[in-house]
């Protein structure tokens, strides 16, 4: 599902949206969130989502499937 579709389905009012997605094989998954943050901060596009002045809200979720962990951050204004 695309981010805009997800936000509309959940009746989130927004003008700007963005997303960061990280995945890694494993287990163990002990440091997955720290690894996601480090990876995102090293990427200019992902770093802009985190530090960008136009985003004021963030939702973060994790999931484990098929031996991989996924970390997602969705940003809106």
Q: What is the mean pLDDT of the chain?
A: 90
User: Lowest-pLDDT range, 3-7, 36-40, 47-51?
Assistant: 3-7
* Cα(51)–Cα(31) distance, integer angstroms: 22
Strand partners, 11: none
pLDDT of 1 reads 66
Question: Are the C-beta atoms of residues 11 and 41 closer than 8 Å to each other?
Answer: no
pTM, 2 dp: 0.82
pLDDT of 47 reads 95
Strand partners, 21: 72
Q: What is the pLDDT of residues 60-75, one digit of tens each?
A: 999 999 889 999 999 9
Q: What is the mean pLDDT of residues 10-34?
A: 88
Instruction: Supply 57's token pair.
Output: 């809200």
Domains of the chain: 3-76 (3.40.33.10)
């Amino acid at each position: 599902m695309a981010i805009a579709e997800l936000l509309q389905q959940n009746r989130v009012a927004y003008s700007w949206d963005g997303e960061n997605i990280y995945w890694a094989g494993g287990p163990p998954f002990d440091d997955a969130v720290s690894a996601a943050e480090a990876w995102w901060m090293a990427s200019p596009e992902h770093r802009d989502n985190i530090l960008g002045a136009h985003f004021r809200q963030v939702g973060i979720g994790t999931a484990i499937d098929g031996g991989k962990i996924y970390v997602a951050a969705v940003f809106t204004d």
